[in-house]
C-alpha cells in the first residue's frame, strides 16, 4: 500500500506507474491482478496456426508469444519478450 511518507510529491506520475497495483487498489480495494488476463503478443510472423496441432505456422515455425517459456530444465529455460529470448 502506498504510504504518504514514501511518496515523492515532485514525481506523482512516476509513483502512480511504479506502484500501479497499489494505485488500482486505492481506487478499488477489490482489485486483484491476474497475469492470465495479460494480452499475449505474438512474436512469430506469420502467426496463424497451421501445423503441429496449432503450435506451428505455415512455415513450420513454432509460434512464440511474449512471456512464453522455452525448455524445461533449470539452466536450459528461457523466457521470451519483445523479440529477445532471455536465459532464466
pTM, whole model, 2 decimals?
0.51
Q: Which helix (H) or strand (E) holds 18?
A: helix 12-18
β-strand partners of 85: 80
Burial of 5 (C-beta count, 10 Å sphere; 0-12/13-18/19+): exposed
Rg (CA), the chain: 19
The string of pLDDT tens digits covering residues 58-77 is: 999 999 888 787 777 666 66
pLDDT in tens, 3-23: 454 555 678 888 778 888 888
Helix (H, G, I), strand (E, B) or coil at 11: coil
Amino acid at each position: 500500500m502506498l504510504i504518504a511518507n514514501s511518496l515523492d510529491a515532485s514525481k506523482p506520475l512516476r509513483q502512480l506507474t511504479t506502484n500501479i497495483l497499489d494505485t488500482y487498489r486505492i481506487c478499488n480495494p477489490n482489485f486483484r491482478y491476474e497475469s492470465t488476463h495479460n494480452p499475449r503478443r505474438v512474436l512469430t510472423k506469420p502467426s496463424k496456426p497451421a501445423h503441429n496441432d496449432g503450435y506451428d505456422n505455415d512455415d513450420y515455425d513454432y509460434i512464440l508469444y511474449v512471456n512464453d517459456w522455452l525448455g524445461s530444465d533449470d539452466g536450459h529455460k528461457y523466457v521470451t519478450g519483445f523479440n529477445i529470448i532471455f536465459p532464466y
